[in-house]
Amino acid sequence: MSTRSIKKKEQVTEVFKKYLPEAFVDSIVQLFITSNVRFKIVNGRRTKLGDFRAGQNGEKHQISVNGDLNPYSFLITTLHEFAHLNTYNQFQWHIQPHGEEWKNEYRKLLLPTIQTGQLPKDIENALVHSLTNTKASSCTDHQLSRVLKNYDKQKEGCVLLERLPKNSTFRLNGRQFIKGPLRRKRYVCQEVRSNKSYLVNALAEVEPIQSSIEE
């Protein structure tokens, strides 16, 4: 390995140390170095945790991951996007984004991560379940998403919507809502001002206005 390569690896390692669990820094650095890809750490996005973009006209492929994720969410999202990279390198766009080809690549990356024994037991168990029932992302795998949220920094005065009793009033994104019935993984919530109904994710962080939190 050349001096220049060593220096690059050290620089990349220092960056990833800020976002990943320590036990997985080396494996992710190695994954990055052996892949022809740009890796961007970006501000948090409401609609996605990360994404993969194929390079055009000779440009490098690009992976981006939200920098406000907790270390375990950052790790799993990173593996998710590298699975997209590996799948694209084999099949380009001739397959479904989260079809069997992507699932197979994701499992290949996920299994060694689980086998390290360095994950918290609740996350390990949720990921083992994901291996047999792989969802498109941690957001659509409700069990995994709930476990990962245990490692988020709790916003002051906020709780998960699913912990509020029915008919509780809460604030979300500056708007007031009343919690209604559950439809699969989302609650039908009525906005107080407009009386319009919206589906809100059960794991959304909301600010209770008047209610008791369910234990």
Condensed to tens digits (0 to 9), the pLDDT of residues 28-72 reads 999 999 998 999 999 988 788 999 999 988 889 999 999 999 999
**Mean pLDDT computed over 116-138:** 83
Given a cut of 80, whether residue 124 has pLDDT beyond it is yes
Structure tokens at 199: 């589906």
Cα torsion 162, 167, 170, 176: sign: positive
pLDDT, tens digit, 9 for 90 and up, residues 69-91: 999 999 999 999 999 999 999 99
Given a cut of 80, whether residue 154 has pLDDT beyond it is no
CB neighbours of 81 closer than 8 A, spacing ≥ 6? 50, 51, 52, 63, 64, 65
| Nearest-10 crossing angle of helices 71-91, 100-115 | 140
Number of residues written out for the chain: 215
For residue 211, what pLDDT band results from cuts at 50, 70 and 90?
Answer: very low
The pLDDT score that the predictor gives to residue 117 is 95
The pLDDT score that the predictor gives to residue 7 is 65
pTM above 0.85, yes or no: no
**Mean pLDDT computed over 134-142:** 60
Structure tokens at 84: 């997209």
The pLDDT score that the predictor gives to residue 4 is 57
Q: How far apart are CA 183 and CA 188, in angstroms?
A: 7
Measured in Å, how far apart are the chain's first and last C-alpha atoms? 55
| Domain ranges for the chain | 3-149, 159-210
Q: Please provide the CATH number assigned to the domain covering 159-210.
A: 2.30.30.30
